[in-house]
Amino acid sequence: MLPPLKGIKVLDLTRVLAGPTATMLLADLGADVIKVEEISKGDDTRTWNPPSAPTVSSAPAETSHLPPESAYFLAVNRNKRSMTVNFKSPEGLEIIQKLVKKSDILVENFICGKLATMGLGYEDCKKLNPRLIYTSITGEEVAFDASESGMAQKALKGYGQTGPYRKAPGYDVIVEAEAGLMHITGEPDRPPSKVGVAATDIATGLYAHGVILAALLSRQKTGQGVWIDCNLFETQIAGLANIASNYLVSGKEASRHGTAHPSVVPYQVFPCKDGFLMVGAGNNKQFALLAEKILDNPELATDPRFATNEARVANRVELINIISDVLLKQERVYWIERFTGLGVPFAPINNIKQTFDHPQAIARQVTVEVEHPRAGKIKLVAPAVSYNGKKMAVRMPPPWLSEHTTEVELMRHLYTSIEQRKVTVVESPTGTGKTLSLLCAGLTWLKDEKDRAKKGKLRAIAGDDADAKEWVIEQTRERVIREMEADEREYEARLVEAKKREDLLK
């Protein structure tokens, strides 16, 4: 079965986490995602080391100047292709505009209004491609050098395209603080704490991914694209969920409860002799099972202080002390055996190794091993959903910087003519830093397979820099030779197959 988004083209102008998360989810569903990066160092997370994957000795020579592939970048860029373009040059801008014309979706996380000053705002792109779904995600920090890339920023904004804070600096931890999450995270008697991962970034990427899919359905009905405004601030407020509703309904300010729940007791982490357990008795039946089958104290369930959830909330401290005193008498493994199978929700507090070693994680194949051209075999977290009973495939490892800039398949996004292709501002990943112009002409694809295998031609004209010119010509020549050799192998294989069929007929 074909992936559901196969044939959908995504122009990815995002960096860091929220935007790349959204585009990776689209790529997982089969979309062709082209990640356009800053020329000298690419996505900021490429340099967020340690940790990073060790570079193998067989890594492409043209990548020797690049840093090792960072674990952070690898986490959210699978199934994508990487292209580097100089936004400041007219030629580079033309490349992006051509990609816009060919794309179904554009996702960007530039500072509000920045792309419009470069001729790539929503209204500009709408004129080029009325069917384009243009998604603006605000709220991640980057710092690019304007002299090199034309993608210069100081800090992206996390508050949306309008309003008094639309240009205020803000990324995940800032928005966690300003939009209420940090106020309710942490122990009651300790300072506010941030969440262990950039949860607001990830949630914003999920929101963007979902509304993009809705926009694709809408476009089927209207034939028109849309502009999507997605930001960390509103995502985080929406993510306050019942805490927000509690305040809006009652006017009562929220507070920090550590791992406990403000409205349900017992529902928190408890210590045992050698570790911790999370216990969530969310209703009276579960609490009765906890009291009778696990704590060996059935009277707790009928005690007026604890018989209902409302009573348990009112007498929280007393009940928590009773449960803790019992659990502290035995090791964690003892309590896991007592809890298992009774219907009372519980879980040990696992570290990351224990998480990936979990039998359910292994059974559900939560990791996937891929071959990376620079890092060799690496493990990635697999897509979290199955589609029609199967995990979505990881078709490509996260790309190294500029890996696909000169790829033939990428060229097909830029040109409507297969007979003549013009590529401008292709940056050499060997670090020459020169702007190159490459004219690929006379690339004739003959219908006859045999002639196609033997008569492919290429002429390449590059810039004045000799090293840069030689690199471009060599890279292009090797690409064409590989295609010709593949065609010739296919042709010979077909000849052998035809000969076999003739022999059978005889």
Which residues form the catalytic set? 201
* Amino acid letter, residue 239: G
CA–CA separation, 90 and 82 (whole Å)? 20
Q: How many other CB atoms sit within 10 Å of the CB of residue 475?
A: 19
Which residues have C-beta within 8 Å of that of residue 466, sequence separation ≥ 6?
none
Contact present, 137 and 231 (Cβ < 8 Å) = yes
Reading the block at residue 217, the tokens are 């359905």
3-state secondary structure of 293: helix
In one letter, which amino acid is 369? E
Which pair of structure tokens corresponds to residue 377? 């075999």
Task: Please check whether residue 78 is in contact with residue 84, taking contact to mean a CB–CB distance below 8 angstroms.
Answer: no
User: Would you call 33 helix, strand, or coil by DSSP?
Assistant: strand
Q: Which residues contact 221 (CB under 8 A, 6 or more apart)?
A: none
47 neighbors 23 (Cβ within 8 angstroms)? no
Which residues are bridge partners to 144 per DSSP? Answer: none
Which residues pair with residue 83 across a beta bridge?
36
Say if strands 459-461 and 435-441 run parallel, antiparallel, or are unpaired.
antiparallel
Name residues whose C-beta falls within 8 Å of residue 182's C-beta, 6 or more positions apart in sequence: 176, 192, 193, 194
DSSP notation for 176-237: HHHTSTGGGSS-TTS-----SS-HHHHHHHHHHHHHHHHHHHHHHHHS---EEEEEHHHHHH
SS3 258: coil
Residues sharing a CB contact under 8 Å with residue 452, sequence separation 6 or more, in sequence order: 445, 446, 484, 487
DSSP 292: I
Backbone angles phi, psi at 138, to 5 degrees: -115, 135
Total number of residues shown for the chain: 506
Residue 486 CB-density burial (10 A; 0-12 exposed, 13-18 middle, 19+ buried): exposed
